Chains A and B, each alone.
Chain A
Amino acid sequence: MTAPATHDRPLPAPEAEAVRRALSSTPRPPRAGALSAALTFGWRGMLKVKHVPEQLLDVTITPVMFTLMFTYLFGGAISGSTAEYLQFILPGILVMSVLFTTVYSGIALNTDLTRGVVDRFRSLPVWRPAPLVGALLGDSVRYLVAGTVIIVLGVALGYSPAGGADGVVAALALVVVFSFALSWVFTTMGLLLRSPNAVMNAGFMSIFPLTFLSNVFVDEETLPSGLRAFVDVNPVTHLVDASRGLMEGTARAGDILLVLGIALAITVVFVPITTRLYRKA
């Protein structure tokens, strides 16, 4: 009601006859499958990006800033040369940038809830988690974009992955899978908190310590023991280990399985919570 109307001349009145014809013309099709419904919601997410491409700024500009800032600010101090530090930090920056993007999934869901369209979705006979799964599948495309930006920029700056293209693609895939899982934590937050701003604050307040207190920026060997204890159990550390391993060609199957296990655990816990909250929202 708040947006101004942009039509200048009156639209044609709907014709009662045409409305009647339209009513009687479609038999009820069989119910949409779970996957088809989720993909349709993913398509909705893509359409929004198509209409407002500026939305992709946060997943392109922020990663570029992070990479440049950390490489050139800390590179000399930490590794003796920026080139050497880039080699160390790039997989970490990849993880950090993409994880930051997951917070936006929660913010977007919270924004959605303030609109009437959620009533429509919830009143349709579709698989209950479909709107959420679909939105997060759509968001995974954003994660992929953010990750690709980092890798392209890194290579342009001189990063050379010993693990080759296969390793890089595998690392990117692992990060996206983990982020898909983590975003369920933020959708839960999005459903529990009252405003998009509250979700943003709570989201970044949790993602900041998780990413900074890890081995993204420094080798955990250098840390004091108390901090190191936290860093060692931080799932982000394991994700960085696995991604670094894949990109350097030194990955251990155990690291990768551990990350996939953590992702699975997060999903198993938070999908039912989010779905339940969404049903009641």
Chain B
Amino acid sequence: MNESALAIEASGLVKRFGETTAVDGVDLTVRRGSVYGVLGPNGAGKTTTIRMLATLLRPDAGSARVLGHDVVEDAEAVRGLMSLTGQLASVDEDLTGRENLILVGRLLGLRRAAAKARADELLGAFGISEASGRLVKHYSGGMRRRLDIAASIVVTPELMFLDEPTTGLDPRSRNQVWDIVRALVAEGTTILLCTQYLDEADQLADGIAVIDHGRVIAEGTPAQLKASVGSGALHVRLLDPEQRPQAESVLAAALGAVHLESDPAALSAQCADADRAADAVGELTRSGVSVAGFALGQPTLDEVFLALTGHPADEAGQEEEAA
């Protein structure tokens, strides 16, 4: 067994589909025991990258080692150590939840009784015992995701690929999936997480690579990344739109560049720091401006993209994400 401290070392990965270059020279380095986020819009090449690392696609150029094993030369060893939760839920819709878990358990080499016991244990732990006898096609999105993750840990993997685990989920299901991911991490599982949501990467990941047009365009901790974007903004709403010019000059003095929004009672200013934002709001009230409300916003993926690439995230999603 290779005791390398790195779970993933990829260099120069390239994948083309006909004329389209879906992944165009991706380098990734992921430490064991960490959660690494790959952040990017639809069509950026996230799924294709994951599929190459998970041995489902052969790279056209470049190489990658997963847990010390080459993904092409030693694919079988890689498969024995990792598990994949794909973007389309990787469970069989025509079987029940319990049957799905037994199926995976048997395929991984558990004996019949052990596979059944393991299925029941996981159904209980993930809160889907009640639905265990129902066909998965009747599951809600959140339940399907939970079952999908449960199927990925029937035998505890050393590395887990999670491709957009919360896309399409309501906020409550999303939080539950996040809780599960945190529990996995607490047990030492390394996770490669693909996501379109900056706050998801921020919540879960230790390191983030931002990917666009098949290339890594920025890398760092969530904090570094947000700092590089020029952080968030203080949004202020006034009671009286008449007072906006006065508010604008106060905020400009306190924080710098001020943006007047299309709503005549609203304006915003670049600001990362909560204390400075609070001071600025204090300045406003002291100067006699009536403030109806204010908020300190985190930068969104759009803002990150705008800052890093000069174009918004949705313009990047032109090419089709390889299925």
Contacts and interface: CB of A to CB of B under 8 A. Distances in A.
A22 B90 CA distance: 20
Contact of B168 (A1, A15, A20): A1
Contact of B104 (A18, A24, A51, A120): A120
A23 B54 contact: no
Given A3-B137, A51-B94, A116-B90, A23 B187 contact: yes
B125 A11 contact: no
Interface string A1-17: 10111110011111111
Contacts of B128: 11
Contacts of A43: 103, 106
B107 A19 contact: no
B317 interface: no
B146 interface: yes
Contacts of A14: 125-127, 146, 176, 179-180
A29 B88 contact: no
B186 A20 contact: yes
Contacts of A120: 84, 86, 90-91, 104, 151
A32 B130 contact: no
Contact of A19 (B80, B89, B90, B183): B183
Interface stretch (B108-116, B209-217, B236-244, B249-257): B108-116
B155 interface: yes
Nearest to A20: B183
B54 A32 contact: no
Contacts of B76: 125
A123 B82 contact: yes
Contacts of A21: 125
B153 A22 contact: yes
B79 A30 contact: no
Contact of A7 (B109, B126, B143): B143
Interface in B31-63: 51, 54-56, 58
Contacts of B58: 280
B84 A19 contact: no
Contact of A122 (B56, B130, B186): B56
Contacts of B122: 22
Contacts of A20: 183, 186-187
Contacts of B92: 44, 115, 117
B259 interface: no
Contacts of B93: 3, 115, 117
B127 A125 contact: no
A40 interface: yes
Size category of the binding interface on chain A: 35 or more
A123 B91 CA distance: 12
A14 B111 CA distance: 26
B316 interface: no
Interface residues of B, number: 68
B107 A23 contact: no
B253 to A, nearest CB: 47
B70 interface: no
A275 to B, nearest CB: 14
B94 A48 contact: yes
Interface in A93-124: 115-117, 119-124
Given A15-B125, A28-B155, A120-B91, A23 B56 contact: no
Contact of A48 (B95, B114, B138): B95
A47 interface: yes
B138 A6 contact: yes
Contacts of B79: 123-125
Nearest to B139: A5
A123 B184 contact: no
A15 to B, nearest CB: 7
B300 to A, nearest CB: 23
A36 B187 CA distance: 31
* Top 8 A-B pairs, shortest CB-CB distance: A116-B88, A5-B140, A120-B90, A18-B125, A22-B125, A29-B109, A125-B80, A19-B183
Given A22-B125, A47-B99, A52-B94, 12 more contacts: A3-B93, A3-B139, A5-B143, A14-B176, A19-B179, A19-B180, A48-B95, A116-B89, A117-B90, A117-B93, A121-B107, A123-B84
Interface of B: 51, 54-56, 58, 76, 79-80, 82-84, 86-96, 99, 103-104, 106-111, 114, 118, 121-122, 124-128, 130-131, 134-135, 137-143, 146, 151, 153-156, 168, 172, 176, 179-180, 182-184, 186-187, 189
22 contacts: A1-B168, A7-B139, A11-B131, A14-B179, A17-B183, A20-B183, A20-B186, A22-B122, A23-B184, A23-B187, A25-B121, A37-B106, A41-B107, A43-B103, A44-B103, A47-B99, A48-B94, A119-B88, A123-B55, A124-B107, A124-B108, A125-B76
